[in-house]
A and B are shown apart, each in its own frame.
Chain A
């Protein structure tokens, strides 16, 4: 199958004065139409920056991103405007991502306004109501302000806004991590339903490994701007190759006290090193139990170790 999106060696560096912060440092992966691509990693590993760079909210330092056979990073402002309709984003914080001075109708219709995607006032209103109903809200919510809604409802408003232009690809940047646990499932199921209904492709960024397993077809594991491992969901959770993935998975609690008590957790020593001016070699080397000399000298290549199972580790053959 042709990938919908092909990322090749994407980099995003920030000049922070005391050095170069390499938030994303060479990501390559494909996302296929209709699938959900999960991206996990701990806080500060560059997940969100990766998501924002992919939809070109940040201008990349380097790399190529192919969509419909074109390199999105080469597009002019006007051409980019067209691609924007296909790329959408759902933000992490449903409180911060909705302008408090706008009504729900204004919020949801903003993408329509920007792209002049309606014929007249009534057409616009109809579209807004249609979108609200799609996410389980209704007409009476249209004239309300964001502060009148709960977190879950706000996130659904954000989803309605992202759907307004019939996008093909949506980056969901930790869409549930700011929500109450009881609401998380509601939002995730809504995302799944919408995916089935419209054939959407998601990039789902999260740090909740069990939730990612539930929603994703394939999962990528990031650490300090590098992709460490990438595999189909079941494969990654059953047969992790990279020591970092193994450590992460061992941290998922199992809802059975017997097993939970007896199993061995892989504890990570030390802190996440600074992403400013990183040393050469494997990014994970300081915290890896299996690190050898070569890990310190050479950055391991991210390659296909098993069929459809990629990893970047010298010790995995």
Chain B
């Protein structure tokens, strides 16, 4: 470069050709390509509270799988010499009124609570997306009928259903089975998801890109699959993260009312119920610990859901 500048007389006319159109590259994009989900993840990471929630969920998941292996006690093993033993170095969370190790039982309970939460949310998701998608894509008349049915279903109080179902299905002394619990919870809980999806479908099926696909000869199913559902995934995901704690809380409520699993199996709700008796005799840790875990799980999912909602909102994009 310096050489060229210092020897001006060496410059020849062929160095001064007009730039070719192709060389100008006006359509070149210099910014690196940012895909949608990595971008959402980037924004989610900036939300500290949501990351705390996510960390708690990951720790909870890990511990609910491996936690019971951390000590030598099993969730059903009773030790009458160590009844109502306060937390110490052997029994980290203490023991209950039958001498069972609470640390193991809490993680066992958390395992069932999480399984119920995730399963209920998954079933809500599947039914809600299919029902809402069909309703949104159908003619106005069918849509109307489907939505009225959904409203009727949603107006049934779920506690009533659970009690009815647990009475109808439970065999003597077996308590309420997981199947019945999830059935009872999802029987009415898919409705908000269906309404959400239907609303999105109604909006997006009028969008120009759906019309464009239709003009290309795409079927309704194609438009739903390729255009509408992918663009609805954000709100759906937020709804799922808020459905999971709702289901966990519902199950905890049932467990607390004595409608949950039969002992020796436990959920966080039934553990809290068992611990209720301990308050009066100075064993409050028996209820505080499971209650704390319920609160932690609820908190974690709720802040993650809120964080996701913010991260998915393109108007907040920086």
A residues lining the B interface (CB < 8 Å): 52, 55, 57, 80-81, 84-85, 87-89, 91-93, 96-102, 110-111, 114-115, 136-138, 140-141, 143-145, 148-149, 153, 158, 161, 165
Contact = CB atoms under 8 A, between A and B. Distances in A.
A148 B215 contact: no
17 contacts: A81-B217, A88-B215, A91-B212, A97-B212, A99-B213, A99-B226, A101-B231, A114-B213, A114-B217, A136-B27, A140-B29, A143-B33, A145-B33, A145-B35, A148-B31, A153-B27, A161-B212
Given A97-B208, A141-B29, A89 B215 contact: yes
B214 interface: yes
Interface of B: 27-29, 31, 33-36, 207-209, 211-218, 222, 226-227, 230-231
Nearest to B219: A114
A111 B216 contact: yes
Contacts of A96: 207-209
B217 A99 contact: no
A110 B216 contact: yes
B29 A144 contact: yes
Contacts of A85: 217
B249 to A, nearest CB: 33
Residue with the greatest number of chain B CB neighbours at <10 A, chosen from A81, A85, A148 = A148
Contacts of B231: 99-101
B274 to A, nearest CB: 48
A149 B28 CA distance: 10
Contacts of B209: 96-99
Contacts of B34: 145, 148
A57 B211 contact: yes
Contacts of A144: 29, 33
Contacts of A57: 211, 214-215
A1 to B, nearest CB: 27
A296 B13 CA distance: 75
B317 to A, nearest CB: 9
Given A101-B230, A114-B222, A145-B35, A84 B215 contact: yes
Contact of B218 (A98, A100, A114): A114
Contacts of A143: 33
Nearest to B21: A136
Nearest to A83: B217
Given A91-B208, A96-B207, A97-B212, A84 B217 contact: yes
Contacts of A52: 211
A285 to B, nearest CB: 33
